[in-house]
Amino acid sequence: MARAPSIVPHQIDHDTYLVLNDFGRLGRAWCETDEGTDRKTLIRRLLDDHYNHPVRIIAFNTSEGWSRDVTTDIADELRRRFVEYDEVPRSVLEFVEMAMRH
């Protein structure tokens, strides 16, 4: 039986980003990742419409011993990047709008 990928980073000496996604009637869950959990990969996945309804993003670094909610930081970065794209996924537009209200 195949195992789900771990959210524990392979290399502990970097920042790890996780997305809380809203699955509607099924509730909310932290999305599994099968590859990079770094900021650059997160931004790319968001803009590639990998998450259908992201509602929160957290970052942590186990070697430095910290974690924090980076939802607003990521929304700001996405908003600044809108000019680079012809089309921005609806999920990203809704995420940025939601993050800016909080």
For the entire predicted model, the pTM comes to 0.81
Domain assignment of residue 5, yes or no = no
Domain assignment of residue 60, yes or no = yes
List per-block mean pLDDT (blocks of 10 residues) for the chain, which spans 102 residues: 59 83 94 81 92 95 93 96 88 94 82
The residues pairing with 59 across neighbouring beta strands, listed in sequence order, are: 17, 68
Domain assignment of residue 11, yes or no = no
Query: Count of domains in the chain?
Result: 1
Domain assignment of residue 65, yes or no = yes
| Contact by Cβ (8 Å): 53, 23 | yes
| Contact by Cβ (8 Å): 74, 51 | no
70: buried, middle or exposed (CB in 10 Å: 19+, 13-18, 0-12)?
buried
Domain assignment of residue 1, yes or no = no
Domain assignment of residue 67, yes or no = yes
pLDDT value of residue 83: 83
Q: Find, among 47, 34, 56, 37, the residue nearest to 102 by Cα.
A: 56
| Contact by Cβ (8 Å): 60, 16 | yes
pLDDT value of residue 6: 56
Domain assignment of residue 81, yes or no = yes
pLDDT value of residue 37: 87
Domain assignment of residue 59, yes or no = yes
**Where in the sequence is the domain holding 95, given as residue range(s)?**
16-101
pLDDT value of residue 33: 72
